Chain A
Amino acid sequence: QVTLRESGPALVKPTQTLTLTCTFSGFSLSTSEMCVTWIRQPPGKALEWLARIDWDDDKFYSTSLKTRLTISKDTSKNQVVLTMTNMDPVDTATYYCARILLYRSRWYIVDYWGQGTLVTVSS
């Protein structure tokens, strides 16, 4: 059974750095064709893809946010960490981590999601 759970602060101040941890079970990020991604959703708005880390440690970032994001993995702990620097009130959102499966070596599908964690940026 695949599960993912996001953890981190519910409230951060402007200019601070946000650190979110995704703890997962039911799969290993050392297994080929497994990836973990972060996606966020401001209240009442659309999904926004942020970053992805693959089984081979390849990393990909949203063009608009890449200067602020860092994604890393700890395979032994089954964790993926996302840091976002210089937080602003517009970054207030629910942050989701999710598993990506490279299905049949062709299709990247986001097949399991965490429940999400709401992060509010306010002084």
Chain B
Amino acid sequence: DIQMTQSPSSLSASVGDRVTITCRASQSITTYLNWYQQKAGKAPNLLIYGASSLQSGVPSRFSGSGSGTDFTLTITSLQPEDFATYYCQQSYSSLFTFGPGTKVDI
């Protein structure tokens, strides 16, 4: 199975900060990488698909990049509603896998 790792596991940031989260796959997944945001007690919400495509309705301060094994989610100018946990997920394999998550808090 393809293993996904994320770093950092958690980070503290302030409103207005630029935040970068990294995701790494155990083998090349080209650009079959999605990012999700999950707020406490809620189901996850798709932010980015195909490594860099913004899902409809998602603010443009979210962006994704990368290919192969290394990927990045960037939030420019962090907003209060962005404090949440972020997960990457590969869909290169039919057996999907998620990363362990990155918690962004104050």
Contact = CB atoms under 8 A, between A and B. Distances in A.
Interface secondary structure of A, over-half rule: strand
B49 A62 contact: no
A34 to B, nearest CB: 15
B64 interface: no
A98, A103, A109: most-surrounded residue (chain B CB, <10 A): A109
Given A111-B55, A114-B43, A62 B95 contact: yes
A46 B87 contact: yes
B-side interface mostly: loop
Contacts, number: 59
Given A110-B36, A111-B55, A49 B97 contact: yes
A46 B98 contact: yes
B37 to A, nearest CB: 12
Contact-residue size bin, chain A (C-beta under 8 Å from the other chain): 20 to 34
Contacts of A98: 43
Contact of A107 (B32, B36, B44): B32
